[in-house]
Every structure is written in C-alpha cells, then in structure tokens.
Structure 1
Amino acid sequence: MDNKLGSGIKDWEAKRQIMIARFRADYGHFPNDPGFKELIEEFMQKSRLFRESWPMHDVQVVTDCHKRWYDPRIGEMEFEHVTLQPPTHPDLKIMIYTASADTALRLGSLVSNQEC
C-alpha cells in the first residue's frame, strides 16, 4: 500500500501526517461509524506509514491550502485547494482545486496531445 503512495507529492513525509490528521478530524465526527473503523483496521494492517502516524492522535481541520504535485509528463503542477463543508452537515465536503495559470496551460496541452 505504501510503495507508490506519495510518489508525486512534494514533502511527502509532512503531507502524509497532515492527511492522517485530517482523516482523524473526520473520524471525530463519526466515532461510532463502522465504515471508519473498518478503514482504520485495514490501514493499520496494510500501511506502515499509517501505523506510525495514527497513534500520534494529531487532528487537523483545513479549509484551504496550496498544493503541489509532480507529473513526469508535464512537471510540477500547482493548485489552490479549497474545501467547503457545511457546519450542519459535517459528512458533506466539496473540494475545489484551481490550477495556476501555468499548470492550466500545461494540463491543456497534455489533454490536447492525448486527443490525437
């Protein structure tokens, strides 16, 4: 499970801890949900990274941030990320990724080349 995880993400070590802390924050809304418990058990069995991070009990709620990914075909991509979550419905999230102008051009070029 861990082998390819994070291969295109800069600062993977820090990012994985943030992702697990966000997962824990979501879990906090539904601590008795059997689906969450099944996921946690599966991650504990299959992922060394998860086993190392989960016992830290970190919690993080983020609504926006700057994201960077690397794709070998077009290089580094940058996005502004916003998460919208109604306070009355913590189980609903809308995640919006807005590409930087340069990233949008390179993604457009990639899509155009694949249509041929």
Structure 2
Amino acid sequence: MGLVSRLRARELGAFLRARRTLLTPDEVGLPVTGARRTPGLRREEIARLAGVSDGYYVRLEQGRAMHPSASVLGALAGALRLSQPEREHLFALAGESCPAPEPEELTEGSRRMLELLRPPTAAYVINRNSDVLAWNDTAGALFGHLVDGPRRPNNVRYVFTDPEAKRLFVDWPHIAADSVAHLRASSGHRPDDAELTELVTELHEVSPDFRRLWTARELRQKDDGRKELRHPRVGRLTLDYAVLAAPGAAGQRLVAYSADPDSDSHAALVRLWSKGN
C-alpha cells in the first residue's frame, strides 16, 4: 500500500470512528445493553448494521483494510446515517465514485408520463422500494390501497399484509413471488437504503410467506405481462401491463394497465374510470 493509500485508509478509519461515536442505540433501533465506557455505538454494532464482519470493520477503523467496495461503503453510510455530503466524503476517502441520490418524490418527468396516458388506462408511478408516488383516477379505483390508509402506499406491503390483495389477485402466489423478486432485484442498487431495510424487517415479522420468498433470493425484472383480477365492483378483469422507466428519475417507473378495446375488461375499466370523474 503506497503512502497516499495509507493516508486515505487512515483518514477513512478516523472518519468512521468519529461518526460512530455520534450515534446512540436508540437512533438505530438497537437495545441498550450494559454500561458504555465511551459515547456512541460499539464497533460490533456498526458491523452488524452494515452486514460486515466485526474483524473487517475493526481493520477499517484501524486503517488496515484496503479498498472497501462500493457496496460496503454504501452499507456503512446507511448504518452510520450519513448525510449526502458525508456519504460523498466517505466514498472519496476510499477512492470510489459515490452514486447520485435517487429522487424521493415524484419527478416532473414521471408526472408528465402519467398525464399523457389516455383514460381508461390505469397507471401509477413507483420507486425502487415499490412505494407508489402518484396514480391516476382509474388506478385509484382499481387498487383500493392507493387511496386508503394513513401513509404512502406500498405495493409489496399491500400484497402481504392486506387481505383484500388475496381476493383481488386471482393468482396471488405468483403475484407475491413476483413482488418479492422485484424488490430483491432493486435492493442490489441501494443495499444501504434505510427505508428498504425497515420495509423488509416489517414484512419479515408479519408474513411467513414474505420470509420464505425473501430468503429464496430470486431476482426478477419484468417489462410487461398480464394479470387476472377479481374486482369487488366490476368483477373479473384480464389486464395487460407495461413497465416504463421514467426519464431523468433513477429508480422511478411507470406501470400502466390496459385491456383490448373490444373486451369486457376494457368496459370494466371504463366503468371504474367514469365513476371517479
């Protein structure tokens, strides 16, 4: 390891140590056990939160670990609750490029895509974690969880925690497996995403089906397909869907549902849309 690399590694270790001492167990959801001689979290606690071994994290703080990967840096940034400037500093110390932050809210490009779709097409915009950021009237009438509930709707949470989902999706097991495989594929882009970690932890606790599917580690990304629905207001529908990446919005996708214009399913979509207008 050259002089510059040693200096970078030493400074990276000092930065990790300084940030670790600023956190408390309560802030990261850890129980407080035993007396603490020094402020902040213990090394093994950060290691556990970041998903690395205790020994490797100790070497990082001591400046003895060479070239931590971008995924490890991202996990450490998430465990330490770093701000974007702090995250960029951590990556710079390791000689890595820091990924640009993904938009947390609906972008203008996503909004325009949604508005361009003609009724009665049902459409919504989701992010990598399957949070639904926006939807049109038909989608709101088609999927009740979009308009009900006190917090931002999430499609994976809906599939595994709302009894209505099992009644709505004719092939619920396939929908459930697909939703987890999509979420697992997305998790590789942001392994340090605190909101994703919270969602996975929540669903692990309440759904044995989710636990089983998440542990299987299947990955799947679909651009189109077909779903069979059993809607309480309009009956059986067969809908084709397409998934499009939103321009200028990393991680945001528009999902649009439609049916053949001469089909009963299209007529059902028209009825759903007209009742909301």
TM-score past 0.5 threshold: yes
Secondary structure at 1:91 match in 2: coil
Secondary structure at 1:10 match in 2: coil
Instruction: Work out whether 1:56 is the aligned partner of 2:216.
Output: yes
Letter in 2 for 1:109: R
Instruction: Provide the C-alpha distance between the structure 1 equivalents of 2:271 and 2:165, rounded to a whole number of angstroms.
Output: 26
TM-score, length-scaled by structure 1: 0.82
Letter in 2 for 1:98: S
Instruction: Provide the C-alpha distance between the structure 2 equivalents of 1:93 and 1:33, rounded to a whole number of angstroms.
Output: 18
1:37 corresponding residue in structure 2:
197
- Larger gyration radius, structure 1 or structure 2: 2
TM-score, length-scaled by structure 2: 0.37
Matched ranges for 1:11-90 at <5 A:
11-85=171-245, 89-90=249-250
- Aligned Cα RMSD in Å? 2.3
- Taking a change above 3 Å as real, the CA distance of residues 90 and 25 of structure 1, as seen in their structure-2 partners, is farther
Letter in 2 for 1:40: V
Moved over 6 A (4+): none
Where structure 1 has 5 or more consecutive residues not aligned to the other structure, the ranges are: none
**Does the aligned pair in 2 maintain the 1:2–1:48 contact within 8 Å?**
no
**Does the aligned pair in 1 maintain the 2:244–2:254 contact within 8 Å?**
yes
Give the fraction of aligned pairs with identical amino acids, expressed as a percent: 26
Instruction: Provide the C-alpha distance between the structure 2 equivalents of 1:2 and 1:40, rounded to a whole number of angstroms.
Output: 16
- Taking a change above 3 Å as real, the CA distance of residues 73 and 16 of structure 1, as seen in their structure-2 partners, is same
Instruction: Provide the C-alpha distance between the structure 1 equivalents of 2:253 and 2:272, rounded to a whole number of angstroms.
Output: 29
Q: Tell me: higher relative CO, structure 1 or 2? Use CA pairs within 8 A at least 6 residues apart.
A: 1
Instruction: Provide the C-alpha distance between the structure 1 equivalents of 2:203 and 2:187, rounded to a whole number of angstroms.
Output: 14
Instruction: Provide the C-alpha distance between the structure 2 equivalents of 1:111 and 1:80, rounded to a whole number of angstroms.
Output: 17
**Does the aligned pair in 2 maintain the 1:29–1:90 contact within 8 Å?**
no
Moved more, 47-56 or 80-89: 80-89
Secondary structure at 2:179 match in 1: helix
Moved more, 71-80 or 100-109: 100-109
Deviation at 1:58, TM superposition (A): 0.4
Structure with greater proportional strand content: 1
**Does the aligned pair in 2 maintain the 1:78–1:100 contact within 8 Å?**
no
How many residues were matched structurally?
Answer: 114
Instruction: Provide the C-alpha distance between the structure 1 equivalents of 2:250 and 2:273, rounded to a whole number of angstroms.
Output: 35
Secondary structure at 1:7 match in 2: helix
**Does the aligned pair in 2 maintain the 1:66–1:78 contact within 8 Å?**
yes
1:7 corresponding residue in structure 2:
167
Instruction: Provide the C-alpha distance between the structure 2 equivalents of 1:15 and 1:104, rounded to a whole number of angstroms.
Output: 21
Q: 2:266 aligns with which of 80, 87, 104?
A: 104
Deviation at 1:16, TM superposition (A): 0.8
Deviation at 1:49, TM superposition (A): 1.3
Deviation at 1:9, TM superposition (A): 0.6
Instruction: Provide the C-alpha distance between the structure 1 equivalents of 2:191 and 2:233, rounded to a whole number of angstroms.
Output: 41
